[in-house]
Structure 1
Amino acid sequence: MICAGAEEGGIDSCRVQRRGPVSTQRDGSCLQAKRRALRIRPPLVLGLLSLQNCSDRVLALGTAILTRPCPEDRMRGASCLQVLLLMLLGAAGTLESAACGQPRVSSRIVGGQDARDGEWPWQASIQHRGAHVCGGSLIAPQWVLTAAHCFLRRALPSEYHVRLGALHLGAASPRALSAPVRRVLLPPDYSEDRARGDLALLQLRRPVPLSARVQPVCLPEPGSRPPPGTPCWVTGWGSLHPGVPLPEWRPLQGVRVPLLDVRACDHLYHLGTNVPRAERIVLPGNLCAGYVEGHKDACQGDSGGPLTCVKSGRWVLVGVVSWGKGCALPNRPGVYTNVATYSPWIQAHLSL
């Protein structure tokens, strides 16, 4: 048996319904919580606490603590710090292992080079009946984010597997793992022309074990958008050039590309077309990255893969490879789905 409290009082449990195994009070209010897996905002991914039937939100360390009126008049004060310490004692040991966006191999890619083993540990290969079709990103032990257009309309989720921890796709690796897909979730606004919602959230059949070669990437804050010029990296096993697939002996590739202003990107895509200038080609829910002169870009087979940028020392999944005109052509930078636009939708599923 474990007891918790203070000799002088001030911290105690309230009599609450049996729904919540953890409860305490602050100034006549009860804190009732039930334990479940909840992805909180980056940079931490923890199995923490979600709370119910409450109001008066308090935020600390990315964890939401909600209060509701106490059913009894037991006016005892407990500081927020004391409450947080009691609630987080059991989870404190998991902070280091659950951190996202921190590969154990430092990145050195500056443009079109081979990746090293463990350099991009969230990189996934989406495979249909054993063949690589798209890239993806591990965002939690049981969840992978990729592009919606990677999935055949009539294909079953059971026909897909996700390969993680691999450096080469053409060679067997005892340290790589293959995880079957349980279900495929698409955003409610997805359009098949890829203009909107080109994301797919894959729930794996079971959580994958994390290691130096298999780690989640951080998700961005909802609505955030790094400024134009931010250096980011796109990775994948896609073609080196249109019609020139990556040889099986070549490892995962990565290229450094700067973010571009979305309106400027839209202007570039209008050049040489008959599309009216008032008609948007690149929409606000997109991101663009690359060079006006071309030369560096994602290509066929990279779809669904990650566009990641460093923020506060951690790698954040800013975009998902969606579409483009050719590969690395002048005035045709790569177009990505802005993950931050869909962060609330993603978080809602991860917390179920």
Structure 2
Amino acid sequence: MALAGHDPDHIVYLASCCCPSWACGQTNISCENVKGKLVEAGKWPWQVSILFLGANNCSSSLIHHQWVLTAVHCFQRSKDPRSYSVKMGIQRLSENGTDLSVTCIVIHEDFTSLMSQDIALLKLRDSVSWSPLIQPVCLPNPKLKPSLGSMCWMIGWGQTISLSSETPQPSYSLKEVAVKIVNNEICNQQYKFLFLKGQKKLIRNDMICASLQWGMDTCQGNSGSSLVCQVNHTWIQMVLNWSFSSSRHHFLGIYTSTSHFTDWIKTQISDVRFVSRAGPGFLSLVFLTGYILLVSLGSLWLL
């Protein structure tokens, strides 16, 4: 069941998908009039807010009719699924969206209190129906990783810090931040001061480093946010954010590599399939630079 105009190898198919008109990694951007102000809707339809006792706690992404991908750090307060619910199909946290209960929290078995293996899945009590505002993001297989220099987007509701200010500001509207993928060895050099005795590197194979390019820093409260890269007009979640650094300290960001956990995700969700190849590759830096600037400028007047 392929979407017209797309190479089947680029698309994640879900065996449980009942509607042929929707596919992962696609957006349906429209404008809505909210209190006399035009705002975008449907730009990131896989974005999910995880609520703890009814209050926004973390960001996450929809990857399946009944599963959400996020970070283990989101469950520091409690690991009881009854304490959590999710809201999706919204641009602002105050909006009425689709609210669903959580029936199970699956935490990676090798996670400790450190940075590595920081990935978790939420199983929803009810199955989600796709709509223009609610659609899944695509997932990469182990071989599909962002190349160095690729420009991608971090999306979330957490606190942000302006490049001209050091004061964190809560974000009630969905924010997007442009980042560039950098070599892990550069990260290791920058974070040497965190090495334990005899430790040669901090950044492991399940991590990816990125530097902030434009706009706001993904500084605090952004655990679980998705970092997506566009390949042939399809958005793929390459990275999971657990918010380690801040631009006020000029440190590179360290994130969880989604492709590293393909087999683990498959073990938990038997009917999910992954992007197998990237076709001609990621969009060129020149094109993305122009695209990012245009979207960033367009987003400013919406705030």
TM-score by length of 2: 0.75
Match of 2:107 in 1: 186
Question: How far did residue 300 of structure 1 move?
Answer: 1.2
Within 5 A, what are the aligned runs for 1:170-185? Answer: 171-173=94-96, 176-185=97-106
Alignment match of 2:137 (pick from 217, 237, 246): 217
Instruction: Indicate whether 1:265 and 2:184 are aligned.
Output: no
Match of 1:336 in 2: 255
Change (3 A) 1:95 1:348: farther
Question: How far did residue 168 of structure 1 move?
Answer: 0.8
Match of 1:52 in 2: none
- After superposition, the C-alpha distances for 1:249-270 in whole angstroms (9 at most, x for unaligned) are xx21101111111111221222
Within 5 A, what are the aligned runs for 1:39-54? Answer: 43-47=11-15
For 1:316, the aligned partner's letter is: I
The 1-side partners of 2:176 and 2:230 are apart by: 15
Q: Could you tell me the percent identity over the aligned residues?
A: 32
| Root-mean-square deviation over aligned CA pairs | 2.7
Q: Unpaired runs of 5+ in structure 1?
A: 1-39, 49-90, 107-113
Question: How far did residue 154 of structure 1 move?
Answer: 4.1
Instruction: Indicate whether 1:118 and 2:86 are aligned.
Output: no
Q: Is contact 2:160–2:217 with CA below 8 Å preserved after alignment?
A: no
For 1:257, the aligned partner's letter is: V
Question: How far did residue 274 of structure 1 move?
Answer: 7.0
Match of 1:207 in 2: 127
The 1-side partners of 2:129 and 2:189 are apart by: 45
The 1-side partners of 2:19 and 2:180 are apart by: 34
Q: Is contact 1:41–1:219 with CA below 8 Å preserved after alignment?
A: no
Indicate the structure (1 or 2) with the bigger Cα radius of gyration.
Answer: 1
The 1-side partners of 2:91 and 2:216 are apart by: 21
Secondary structure at 2:208 match in 1 = strand
Aligned residues: 253
TM-score by length of 1: 0.66
Question: How far did residue 302 of structure 1 move?
Answer: 1.1
For 1:348, the aligned partner's letter is: T
The 2-side partners of 1:122 and 1:247 are apart by: 18
Secondary structure at 1:332 match in 2 = coil
Question: How far did residue 180 of structure 1 move?
Answer: 0.7
The 1-side partners of 2:241 and 2:155 are apart by: 10
Q: Unpaired runs of 5+ in structure 2?
A: 1-7, 31-37, 272-303
The 2-side partners of 1:274 and 1:151 are apart by: 26
Secondary structure at 1:240 match in 2 = strand
Change (3 A) 1:191 1:224: farther
- After superposition, the C-alpha distances for 1:295-333 in whole angstroms (9 at most, x for unaligned) are 7531212111100001222100101112323x2135412
